[in-house]
Amino acid sequence: MVAMVLGFAFGEKMLVKKLEDCREFDGMDKTIRREVLHKKNDGIDLRFSLAYRRVKPRTAALPHRLKTTEVYYILRGHGVMHVNDQSEKVAEGCAIYVPPNAVQYIENVGNDDLECLCLVDPAFRSEDVEIIA
Protein backbone atom coordinates (compact mmCIF):
# COMPACT_ATOMS: atom_id res chain seq x y z
CA MET A 1 0.00 0.00 0.00
CA VAL A 2 1.32 3.46 -0.92
CA ALA A 3 0.87 6.26 1.63
CA MET A 4 -0.38 9.62 0.36
CA VAL A 5 0.48 13.07 1.70
CA LEU A 6 -1.14 16.14 0.11
CA GLY A 7 -1.76 14.16 -3.06
CA PHE A 8 1.81 12.95 -3.50
CA ALA A 9 2.63 9.25 -3.24
CA PHE A 10 5.81 8.48 -1.32
CA GLY A 11 8.41 7.45 -3.83
CA GLU A 12 7.35 10.06 -6.42
CA LYS A 13 9.71 12.90 -7.12
CA MET A 14 9.24 16.15 -5.25
CA LEU A 15 8.05 19.12 -7.31
CA VAL A 16 9.33 22.60 -6.53
CA LYS A 17 8.11 25.59 -8.51
CA LYS A 18 8.90 29.28 -8.19
CA LEU A 19 6.05 31.74 -8.48
CA GLU A 20 8.09 33.86 -10.88
CA ASP A 21 8.30 30.87 -13.26
CA CYS A 22 4.50 30.48 -13.41
CA ARG A 23 2.91 32.30 -16.36
CA GLU A 24 0.81 35.30 -15.41
CA PHE A 25 -2.58 35.74 -17.12
CA ASP A 26 -5.88 37.54 -16.72
CA GLY A 27 -8.37 35.41 -14.81
CA MET A 28 -12.02 34.98 -15.75
CA ASP A 29 -12.91 37.17 -12.74
CA LYS A 30 -10.63 40.04 -13.89
CA THR A 31 -7.87 39.31 -11.39
CA ILE A 32 -4.27 38.55 -12.36
CA ARG A 33 -3.51 34.86 -11.86
CA ARG A 34 -0.72 32.31 -11.92
CA GLU A 35 -1.42 28.58 -11.70
CA VAL A 36 1.12 27.36 -9.17
CA LEU A 37 0.13 23.68 -8.91
CA HIS A 38 -2.37 21.90 -11.12
CA LYS A 39 -2.46 18.30 -12.27
CA LYS A 40 -3.17 19.34 -15.89
CA ASN A 41 0.03 21.42 -16.02
CA ASP A 42 2.40 19.57 -13.75
CA GLY A 43 1.83 15.86 -14.44
CA ILE A 44 1.15 15.12 -10.77
CA ASP A 45 -1.67 13.23 -9.10
CA LEU A 46 -3.11 16.10 -7.08
CA ARG A 47 -6.75 16.45 -6.06
CA PHE A 48 -6.68 20.24 -5.51
CA SER A 49 -5.14 23.16 -7.40
CA LEU A 50 -3.19 26.10 -6.04
CA ALA A 51 -3.18 29.51 -7.71
CA TYR A 52 -1.70 32.91 -6.95
CA ARG A 53 -4.02 35.88 -7.43
CA ARG A 54 -3.35 39.59 -7.52
CA VAL A 55 -6.01 42.30 -7.32
CA LYS A 56 -4.95 45.80 -8.29
CA PRO A 57 -5.56 48.70 -5.87
CA ARG A 58 -9.12 49.99 -5.58
CA THR A 59 -10.54 47.25 -7.83
CA ALA A 60 -12.51 44.05 -7.27
CA ALA A 61 -12.82 40.63 -8.83
CA LEU A 62 -16.02 39.98 -10.71
CA PRO A 63 -18.70 38.26 -8.63
CA HIS A 64 -18.64 34.58 -9.52
CA ARG A 65 -19.68 31.15 -8.33
CA LEU A 66 -17.57 27.97 -8.26
CA LYS A 67 -19.03 24.47 -8.10
CA THR A 68 -16.11 23.58 -5.85
CA THR A 69 -14.69 24.58 -2.46
CA GLU A 70 -12.19 27.43 -2.44
CA VAL A 71 -9.85 28.68 0.27
CA TYR A 72 -8.10 32.05 0.05
CA TYR A 73 -4.97 32.89 2.04
CA ILE A 74 -4.05 36.58 2.02
CA LEU A 75 -0.32 37.17 1.54
CA ARG A 76 -0.25 40.98 1.23
CA GLY A 77 -2.63 43.88 1.28
CA HIS A 78 -6.11 44.25 2.66
CA GLY A 79 -9.61 44.19 1.31
CA VAL A 80 -13.13 42.94 1.75
CA MET A 81 -14.19 39.37 0.99
CA HIS A 82 -17.79 38.99 -0.14
CA VAL A 83 -19.47 35.57 0.09
CA ASN A 84 -23.21 35.42 -0.56
CA ASP A 85 -24.72 38.03 1.78
CA GLN A 86 -21.65 38.23 4.07
CA SER A 87 -18.78 40.72 3.83
CA GLU A 88 -15.66 40.67 6.03
CA LYS A 89 -12.51 42.78 6.14
CA VAL A 90 -9.46 40.64 5.33
CA ALA A 91 -5.73 41.29 5.47
CA GLU A 92 -2.36 39.57 5.45
CA GLY A 93 -2.52 36.27 7.33
CA CYS A 94 -6.27 35.68 6.90
CA ALA A 95 -7.62 32.40 5.57
CA ILE A 96 -11.11 32.43 4.07
CA TYR A 97 -13.24 29.35 3.36
CA VAL A 98 -15.75 29.68 0.52
CA PRO A 99 -18.31 26.86 0.23
CA PRO A 100 -19.26 25.39 -3.15
CA ASN A 101 -21.82 27.35 -5.20
CA ALA A 102 -21.46 30.54 -3.12
CA VAL A 103 -21.41 33.87 -4.95
CA GLN A 104 -18.03 35.37 -4.09
CA TYR A 105 -15.59 38.11 -4.91
CA ILE A 106 -12.70 39.88 -3.26
CA GLU A 107 -12.31 43.65 -3.26
CA ASN A 108 -9.02 45.47 -2.80
CA VAL A 109 -9.73 48.59 -0.73
CA GLY A 110 -6.06 49.51 -0.35
CA ASN A 111 -3.51 51.50 -2.31
CA ASP A 112 -1.24 48.50 -2.95
CA ASP A 113 -1.83 45.17 -4.67
CA LEU A 114 -3.77 42.57 -2.71
CA GLU A 115 -2.05 39.19 -3.15
CA CYS A 116 -3.40 35.81 -2.13
CA LEU A 117 -3.17 32.09 -2.70
CA CYS A 118 -6.30 30.20 -3.71
CA LEU A 119 -6.72 26.51 -3.12
CA VAL A 120 -9.58 24.89 -5.07
CA ASP A 121 -10.78 21.36 -4.28
CA PRO A 122 -11.37 19.48 -6.50
CA ALA A 123 -8.89 21.14 -8.86
CA PHE A 124 -9.99 24.26 -10.73
CA ARG A 125 -11.74 23.84 -14.08
CA SER A 126 -13.03 26.82 -16.06
CA GLU A 127 -16.31 24.99 -16.72
CA ASP A 128 -16.95 25.03 -12.94
CA VAL A 129 -17.07 28.85 -12.88
CA GLU A 130 -20.11 31.03 -13.44
CA ILE A 131 -19.52 34.78 -13.72
CA ILE A 132 -22.44 36.67 -12.15
CA ALA A 133 -23.46 39.66 -14.30
Q: What is the pLDDT of residue 10?
A: 45
**Reported confidence tier of residue 43, pLDDT bands at 50, 70, 90:** confident
Identify which of 25, 24, 29, 32 has the alpha carbon closest to the alpha carbon of residue 115. 32
Domains of the chain: 4-131 (2.60.120.10)
Q: What is the pLDDT of residue 61?
A: 97
pLDDT tens digits, one per residue of 69-85: 999 999 999 999 999 99
For residue 34, how many other CB atoms are within 10 A of its CB? 19
Q: What is the pLDDT of residue 2?
A: 40
